[in-house]
Structures are given as structure tokens and as C-alpha cells.
Amino acid sequence: MTQEPLLRMEHIGKEYFGNRVLADVNLTLQRGEILGLVGENGAGKTTLMKILFGMPVIKETGGYEGKMYLDGKEVNFDSPFDALDGGIGMVHQEFSLIPGFSTTENIMLNREFTCYSPLVELFGERLQTLNRPAMRQRAAKAIDTLGVRVDPDMLIQEMPVGHRQFTEIAREIDRESTKLLVLDEPTAVLTESEAAILVKALRKLADSGIAIIFISHRLQEILDLCDKILVLRDGMVIKEAPTKGTEIRQIASWMVGRTVEDKKQDDAVRVCLEPILRVDHLWVDMPGETVRDVSFDVCRGEIFGIGGLAGQGKLGIANGIMGLFAAGGAVTWKGKALKLNDPHGALEAGMAFVSEDRRGVGLLLDEPIDWNIAFTAMQVQGRCLKSLLGGLIQWRDDVAMASLAQEYIDALGIKCVSSRQRAVELSGGNQQKVCLAKAFAVGPELLFVAEPTRGIDVGAKKLVLDTIRETNRHKGTTVVMISSELEELRSICDRIAIVDEGRLAGMLSATASVEDFGLLMLGAGKGPEVAAGVR
């Protein structure tokens, strides 16, 4: 009798609204085996884990293709609770811990030991009192299994991040039935020494027979910890290989590995004239995009790219400088200090921002196109306004607005019925163009563009990118472009900075090799190859 693997996933596929995110993924996992799951953002790792964990979102969007077997039995979990019962534990990227509870209380959350109380007969099970000594003992045991030192009575809010991570893992392995543990980027928030302890603890767990799926961007950890790795790209398995004998550089190229066609560059080398924007030790408190300590210069007339994986802070930089989220540090604009946390000031200083949040921040969805395009120009520069009594009374100049809008509709080729059409009725690509037009209408000296091609089709992508390049070349607008798509950045930017964990991991010329970028993004590329410009 051959040994049946603990987990077998066969021909897993998934579509979201006609958009294929997973296709024909096969995966097997033995008891005590550790699998490293790697891939870029959007490669399908998270979706795969959602399917495994029975997240309701999968079912709500039409289920998945393929079959899953756990211990040889076919399973199809309806909810995460079913998955938990089935023996799958999951440690999420965000902590799911109660901050005011102690380690013990969190590990035992909703699985507390209780003592009988007669009131139970009247008011139900929940009136049992907690058996704290037993809970504490059990929690201590779970922590012990990990082989780490965490005080069972310490409150979560008072403990270092690493200990929170351990608490969370301890909670998952404390379930008696847990056979498989999924860890989604558990080391992202840890210091190196903490990460090392975690890796050791996981090894210990695996030796006790628990299988682990480990998702991380830190490739070195993957190599240190895992028995084998599975590389996903664009929803497909690119490579499944034992870790032994695999190198970081190889993994990186598997992950990023599209062959990049050579883009024609108009000017081979563009010289940095003078820094127009200096950023010193910027921090931004933007939820999910925290910027911790970033310093860089942007030259006049260049297209400066900021790349990096999602959630690492690249979006926070633009949002922080533009005053949309609380920020600190020093930003010098044309030699003068820029006041932070003041969106109006940033706009007045001659900057504009095309937000990644098109439907939220970028557009007034229920208003017509001309309103949208003229809005910022009207608010900040007083354009398209007629004034009376020396500016005491002002009202909209609809004619001027319409002509301004028409100018950009023609220039950017916005497909619409008229300039009076409501923004909500446009397609994603055309909405993006309206956003750009709105920014252009201000005539900015510096334009921040965040994720300009997200969610629009290939044809529109090209148009949008071309428009940005045009503006840069012909109007001399300095552009800072932020994108998750490295390829896109490389096709248009002069220099590209990569942000990792809220800090600048490095800065490269757009002509640098894909692998170098990949390494920077994965936090592995610390070394001398970092280009000049990072301070």
C-alpha cells in the first residue's frame, strides 16, 4: 500500500468574473513536509489558499474547478470553520488576535476550558466559568511545542510583533486535529533574529508530523526551511522543485521570468539635471501601505518609478506627500520645505496626483466628465470660474469647462458620448484617462501616478502609458509613477526605486536586469549593486 499524501490538490482552477486567476494547479504534500509557495503578487497564491481554506468568497464567486483530497478523502470545505475541523490551520497576514487579551486567552480564544456552573441549565453553555489555570497550562504547552519563549500572561498589545506571530501560530497548532498549517507571509513583520527563531520552530513542528505550507517573499527563508518549493506565475505552476540545489537567483527568475521585449527608448541616456523633489526620512501612516523611513531625490524632467510588492508602502509615498494620509519627515520641493498633511498646499505647489483609488478618491462618479476634469483646476487655481465684484462672488463657467474637457477628450481619446456624460458610465480605461486629464488640467510640474493601468485592458494600458510619456516629453512634466507591474515601470521610467517593508530596498536604472529587480523586491538584494540615488 503506497502512502497516501496528506494533501492532494488536482487540476485546481478559478475564475473571478471571467478573469482567470488559477489554472490547472496540482500540488501534493506529505505529512511533516514543508512546502514553500512563492510567486509575485497576483500569481494566485492567496486564491489557492482561499480555496483550500473554504473561504466564503470562493463560493460566492462561483466555486472552483478541480478536486482536493485530505488524507485520501475528497473534501470541499464550506467555511473556514469546516477547514479548521478538517485539520487545516491558517495564520493570516494580518494578526487575528485580540489586543487586550493575554497570550493564553488568545491561544484559547473560543476554545476556552470551562467549569460547570448550575446556571448553565438555565441560560446555556456560555455561562460556564473559565478554568484559567488549565487554559494557561495548555497555552504554555502549545508555546513549548514551538520551542519559543512567550509569556502566557502578557497582553498582546504590549508584546513585540514577533511574539504576536508566535501566539498566532501556537493557536493554530493547539487544535488537536491540526495536520496542516498554512502560513501566509509570517515573517514579513519579523526581525531577522525573530524570523530565524520562527523557522526553527516550524522545523520542529514539521518533525512532529505536521505539514506546512509556507508563503513568503523572503527567498532565503524558503531555502532554509522548506523541503520543496512551488512557483506560481499568472495562475499556473511554473516550477515545482526540491529546495536542495536550488538558488535564489533561479527562483527569482522563475517568478518574474517573463521575457521582456526590448522597449525602444527615445533618448538612450537622460541626464539628471537637478533634483526637484527631495524626500528625507518620510513616514506615512496609511493603512496597509505603511511607509517607515524613505529618502530619495527626483530629478527635474525624469520619470521616476517606484515599484515593489503590494502592501510594502509604495502607494503610501505618493499619498503621504500629497497629504492624503498622516505623514512626517521632510519633503523639499524646489528648494523649499513642503508642508505635509495639507492636500491643498501640495496641489498649489504645482503637484498633482492620479490616485490608485479611482472610484473613491479619483473621480466624482455621479458627475459628468467635464466636471471631473475641471474640478481640481477650479478648486485650486480658480479656473473655469466667472467672478463678479472683484471676486467676491464666483460661479462656474460652464462654457469654459466644456471646452477644457473637450480638449482632453480629444487629446487622450476618451471614448464617450459627450463631455456631459457621467463618469460612472465610462469603462475602466476611460475613467483612468479622465483621472489623468483631471491631473493634466492643473498643469502640474510634478505628477504622481499610482497604479495607472490597474484593472484596464491591454489596449488602454498602452494608451495611458503613452499619454504619460507624451506629457513628460513635451510638457516637461516630472512624473513619479508607482506601479506593481515591474514590466510597465521598466518600459517608461528612467530610474526605478523598489520599496520593501516600508523602506527603500534599492534603486536601479530601468535597464537593469529583471533578476536584480526581483531580488530587491524580495528583500534579498542587499548589496553593492544598489544604484546611486539612495541615501
Partner 1 sequence: MKNKSFKDILISNAVPIIFLVLSAAAIPLSGFTTSYLIQEMVTRMGRNCFLVLSLLIPIAAGMGLNFGMVLGAMGGQIAIILVTDWNIVGMQGLLLAAMISTPISLALGWLTGEILNRAKGREMVTSFMLGFFMNGVYQFIVLYGFGMVIPVENHAMLLSRGFGIRNAINLQGVRQVLDKFLMVDIGPIHVPMAAFIVIALFCLFILWFNRTKLGQDMRAVGQDMAVAKSAGIAVDRTRIIAIIISTVLAGYGQIIFLQNIGTMNTYNAHEQAGIFAIASLLIGGATVSRATITNVFVGVMLFHLMFVVSPMAGKTLMGQAQLGEYFRVFVSYGIIALALVLHALRRRMDKERERQSLRGGDAPAPANGH
AA letter at 531: A
Asked whether position 117 contacts partner 1 by CB under 8 A, the answer is yes
Which parts of 232-287 fold into alpha helices (H)? Answer: 248-256
Please state the closest distance from residue 80 (CB atom) to partner 1, in A.
7
Specify the residue, 339 or 461, whose C-beta has the smaller distance to partner 1. 339
Q: In this structure, what DSSP letter does residue 260 have?
A: P
- CA separation for the pair 442, 409 (Å, rounded): 15
Residue closer to partner 1 by CB (options 58, 414) is 58
Subset of residues 285 to 314 that bind partner 1, contact rule: CB under 8 A: 285, 290-293, 295
CB 103 within 8 A of CB 159: yes
Find out whether 233 and 255 touch, Cβ atoms under 8 Å.
yes
Instruction: Give dist(CA 402, CA 373) in Å, integer.
Output: 9
Specify the residue for cell string 512557483. 231
Instruction: Using the rule CB under 8 A, give the single segment among 242-250, 321-329, 418-426, 515-523 that binds partner 1.
Output: 321-329
Assign 494 to helix, strand or coil: coil
By CB under 8 A, which span of 12-20, 61-69, 198-206, 337-345 interacts with partner 1?
337-345
The least distance separating partner 1 from the CB of residue 41, rounded to whole angstroms, comes to 23
Q: Among the candidate windows 36-44, 111-119, 270-278, 422-430, which touches partner 1 by CB under 8 A? A: 111-119
User: Cβ distance 482 to 315 under 8 Å?
Assistant: yes
State which of residues 44, 54, 89, 105 lies at the interface with partner 1 (CB under 8 A): 105
**Region from 18-26, 124-132, 353-361, 384-392 binding partner 1, contact rule CB under 8 A:** 124-132
If binding is defined by CB under 8 A, does position 100 make contact with partner 1?
A: yes
Q: Is 143 helix (H, G, I), strand (E, B) or coil?
A: helix
The answer to whether residue 511 forms part of the interface with partner 1 (CB under 8 A) is no
Interaction of residue 413 with partner 1, rule CB under 8 A: no
Backbone angles phi, psi at 510, to 5 degrees: -60, -15
Q: Position of cell 524558503?
A: 222
The single residue among 23, 75, 127, 380 that binds partner 1, judged by CB under 8 A, is: 127
In the chain the first and final C-alpha atoms are separated, in Å, by: 61
Is residue 403 part of the contact set for partner 1 (CB under 8 A)?
no
User: Does residue 73 bind partner 1 (CB under 8 A)?
Assistant: no
- Our finding on whether 502 is near partner 1 (CB under 8 A) is yes
d(CA 89, CA 54): 12
Asked if 283 interacts with partner 1 (CB under 8 A), we say: yes
- The string over 492-527, giving b where at least 16 C-beta atoms fall within 10 Å of a residue's C-beta and e elsewhere, is bbbbbbbbbbbebbbbbebebebbbbbbbbbbbbee
Give the C-alpha separation, 472 to 467, whole Å.
9
**According to the binding rule CB under 8 A, does residue 139 interact with partner 1?**
no
The residue (of 26 and 117) whose beta carbon lies closer to partner 1 is: 117
What's the grid cell of residue 78? 464550506
> Does the protein bind partner 1 through residue 281 (CB under 8 A)?
yes
As a residue count, the chain comes to 535
At its nearest, how many Å lie between partner 1 and the CB of residue 383?
28
State the residues that interact with partner 1 by CB under 8 A: 80-81, 96-101, 105, 109-110, 112, 114, 117, 125-130, 132, 158, 280-281, 283-285, 290-293, 295, 326, 328-330, 337, 339-341, 502
